[in-house]
């Protein structure tokens, strides 16, 4: 089932923009609603969560607008969001180092899992944008 899902994405990279955008919306929700109301549990400062929420919303707008616009030359857009996702991962690592004394174990776990998911998606996006084996457009 997972291989079929990956195969479908490789045939139609449009879905990567949808996955990226929906994931970014989920992250924004988690930052602003869940984590910011449980600061004592996660040990993550509210201002940092607000920054991550703002970035996630920006990524969501970019990815979802690209998905719904059906652009012909999608590769540069895919590279942009992939690099933005990698930037997010680097920023998160810097954040974890800077706030290492205040972040509680579950907060660290949350961000490590998030880094793994986002970095994996970004690498897949870069590979998809760099290969000629996918459709030349995303109108399907």
* Residue 31 placed within a domain: yes
* Residue 8 placed within a domain: no
* Residue 9 placed within a domain: no
- Count CA atoms within 13 Å of residue 99 on its CB side: 21
pTM: 0.84
* Residue 1 placed within a domain: no
* Dihedral (CA of 34, 35, 37, 41) sign: positive
* Residue 4 placed within a domain: no
Domain count of the chain? 1
Rounded alpha-carbon distances, angstroms, from residue 83 to 30, 35, 50, 73, 122: 22, 25, 21, 17, 7
> Three-state DSSP class for 10?
helix
* Residue 107 placed within a domain: yes
Range of the domain at 111: 15-130
Least confident of 8-12, 16-20, 60-64, 88-92: 8-12
| C-alpha span between 67 and 2 (Å, rounded) | 22
Both tokens of 88, joined, read: 């997010």
pLDDT tens digits, residue range 59-100?
A: 999 999 999 997 888 999 999 999 999 999 999 999 999 988
* Residue 2 placed within a domain: no
């Amino acid at each position: 089932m997972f291989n079929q899902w990956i195969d479908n994405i490789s045939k139609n990279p449009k879905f990567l923009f949808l996955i990226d955008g929906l994931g970014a919306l989920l992250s924004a929700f988690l930052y602003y609603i869940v984590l910011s109301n449980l600061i004592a549990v996660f040990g993550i400062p509210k201002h940092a969560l607000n920054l991550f929420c703002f970035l996630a919303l920006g990524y969501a707008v970019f990815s979802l607008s690209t998905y719904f616009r059906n652009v012909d030359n999608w590769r540069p857009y895919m590279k942009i969001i992939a690099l933005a996702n990698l930037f997010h991962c680097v920023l998160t690592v810097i954040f974890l180092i800077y706030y290492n004394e205040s972040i509680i174990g579950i907060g660290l776990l949350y961000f490590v899992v998030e880094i793994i998911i986002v970095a994996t998606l970004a690498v897949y996006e870069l590979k998809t944008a760099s290969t000629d084996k996918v459709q030349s457009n995303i109108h399907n």
